[in-house]
């Protein structure tokens, strides 16, 4: 754990610095920014691609998705500077992404100012845990990830909220309180998986983008898991080349023991009962 540090209730690895985290609350969000909020391994690259392709097709941006740094508070491999610094130089409208919990995010998002739009994507905690575990094995140890953590130990850390970027439920419920704010659109990874075409249309409508059906269908096809996996493998972007694994819903069944599944179910009921937030697990 020596390469991890705690900051205001959440754990971070060496992709983050206290200086960057300190700067984020006052970070200025432009009126035409599109903000994407995700917990780790909840479809981040997927929704960034969809939004980017829609905006490029509509002539709103010419910045490729590979040039958008994920998590504005982090210095992502291949970028050399914190995301919030890089984004200062990107032309409007920008696509801004954050993994940060609600209480650490820019105040202009959590207390909405201006006309920006925010898309929050969530994924069920069991598949999230499995995907995050395997992704950790691929990331450079220089980021403070530990390749050799046994699965059983990781499961307990996830349940205890002792993982990078903090507790899953704190993150989900922090952002869920924004569900009635018109700046926000909430999506579920599971729904994206079941109905990608409907998801793309929903995002297009939310962003007030007008495209013909043929163009929209082409974007849907280019954003299937198979299409993106192939494109990312050839992108040369060090994060994108390792980001895709199975892209499935319910893959957690191949990793969880019965007792682990029951422990996750108990935590799920404890934290989400009565909140209106629910997830599909298969």
pLDDT the model gives residue 237: 58
pTM of the model: 0.91
Assign domain 5-272 to its CATH superfamily. P-loop containing nucleotide triphosphate hydrolases (3.40.50.300)
Q: Which position among 99, 103, 134, 183 bears the catalytic label? A: 99
The predicted pLDDT at position 118 comes to 98
Spell out the domain ranges in the chain. Answer: 5-272
**Known active-site residue 84:** no
Query: Which of 19-23, 31-35, 239-243 has the least mean pLDDT?
Result: 239-243
Percent above pLDDT 90 for the chain: 73
| Per-residue H/E/C for the chain | CCCCEEECCEEECCCECHHHHHHHHHCCCCCCCEEEEECCCCCHHHHHHHHHHHHHHCCCCCCCHHHCCCCCCECCCCCCCCHHHHHHCCCCCCEEEECCCHHHCCHHHHCCCCCCEEEEEECCHHHHHHHHHHHHHHCCHHHCCCCCCCHHHHHHHHHHCCCECCCHHHHHHHHHCCCCCCCEEEEEHHHHHHCHHHHHHHHHHHCCCCCCHHHHHHHHHHCCHHHHHHHHHCCCCCCHHHHCCCCCCCHHHHCCCHHHHHHHHHHHHHHHCCCCCCCCCC
């Amino acid at each position: 754990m020596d390469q991890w540090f705690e900051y205001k209730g959440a754990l971070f690895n060496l992709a983050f610095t206290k200086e960057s985290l300190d700067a984020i609350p006052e970070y200025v969000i432009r009126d035409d920014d599109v903000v994407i909020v995700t917990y780790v391994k909840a479809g981040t690259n997927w929704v960034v691609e969809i939004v980017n392709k829609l905006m490029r097709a509509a002539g709103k941006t010419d910045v490729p998705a590979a040039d958008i740094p994920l998590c504005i508070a982090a210095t992502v491999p291949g970028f050399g500077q914190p995301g919030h610094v890089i984004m200062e130089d990107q032309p409007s409208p920008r696509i801004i992404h954050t993994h940060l919990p609600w209480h650490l995010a820019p105040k202009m998002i959590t207390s909405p100012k201006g006309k920006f739009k925010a898309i929050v994507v969530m994924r069920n905690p069991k598949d999230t845990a499995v995907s995050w575990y395997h992704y950790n094995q691929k990331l450079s140890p220089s980021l403070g990830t530990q390749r050799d953590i046994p699965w059983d130990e990781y499961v307990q850390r996830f349940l205890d909220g002792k993982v990078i970027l903090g507790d899953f439920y704190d993150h989900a419920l922090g952002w869920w309180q924004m569900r009635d704010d018109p700046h926000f659109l909430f999506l579920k990874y599971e729904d994206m998986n079941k109905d990608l075409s409907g998801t793309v249309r929903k995002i297009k409508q939310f962003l007030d983008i007008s495209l013909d059906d043929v163009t929209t269908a082409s974007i849907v096809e280019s954003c299937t898991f198979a299409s993106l996996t192939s494109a990312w493998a050839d992108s040369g972007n060090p994060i994108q080349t390792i980001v895709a694994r199975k892209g499935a819903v319910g893959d957690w069944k191949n990793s969880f023991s019965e007792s682990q599944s029951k422990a996750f179910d108990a935590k799920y009921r404890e934290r989400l009962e009565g909140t209106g937030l629910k997830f599909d697990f298969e």
